[in-house]
Amino acid sequence: MGNICGGAGKADVAADYRSSSPGAVSKESGQVVRLISSSLRFPLFFVAAGQILEAPNLRTFTFLELKTATKNFRPDSVLGEGGFGRVYKGWVDEKTMNPTKSGTGMVVAVKKLNSESMQGYEEWQSEINFLGRLSHPNLVKLLGYCWEDKELLLVYEFMAKGSLENHLFRKGCAPLSWELRLKIAIGAARGLAFLHASEKQVIYRDFKASNILLDASYNAKLSDFGLAKLGPTGSNSHITTRVMGTYGYAAPEYVATGHLYVKSDVYGFGVVMLEMLSGKRALDPNRPNGQQSLVDWAKPYLADRRKLARLMDPQFEGQYNSKQSHQAAQLTLNCLAGEPRSRPSMKEVLETLEQIEALKSRTREARGGSGTSSRDRAHGRSAAVHQRSSPRGGSDARRGSRATNGHATKAR
Q: How many structural domains does the chain have?
A: 1
Give 375-409 pLDDT, tens digit per residue.
Answer: 444 444 444 444 444 444 443 434 444 443 333 34
User: Mean pLDDT over residues 140-151, rounded?
Assistant: 92
CB-based contacts of 95, cutoff 8 Å, min separation 6 = none
The confidence score (pLDDT) of residue 402 equals 41
- What are the distances in angstroms from CA 384 to CA 287, 313, 387? 17, 7, 5
Q: How confident is the model at residue 39 (pLDDT cuts 50, 70, 90)?
A: very low
CB-based contacts of 38, cutoff 8 Å, min separation 6 = 198, 199, 200
Q: Rounded mean pLDDT of the chain?
A: 79
Report yes or no on 229 lying in a domain. yes
Q: How confident is the model at residue 131 (pLDDT cuts 50, 70, 90)?
A: confident
Domain range for 369: 162-387
Report yes or no on 194 lying in a domain. yes
CB-based contacts of 105, cutoff 8 Å, min separation 6 = 91, 92, 93, 94
Say if residues 332 and 273 touch (Cβ distance below 8 Å).
yes
**Distance of alpha carbon 399 from alpha carbon 344, whole angstroms:** 30
pTM more than 0.75: yes
- Annotated catalytic residue, options 206, 224, 265, 313: 206
Catalytic residue list contains 206: yes
Q: Is pLDDT at 74 greater than 70 in this prediction?
A: yes
Report yes or no on 258 lying in a domain. yes
Give 264-310 pLDDT, tens digit per residue.
Answer: 999 999 999 999 999 999 999 999 998 899 999 999 999 999 999 99
Percent of the chain, pLDDT > 70? Answer: 73
What CATH number does the domain containing 180 carry? Answer: 1.10.510.10
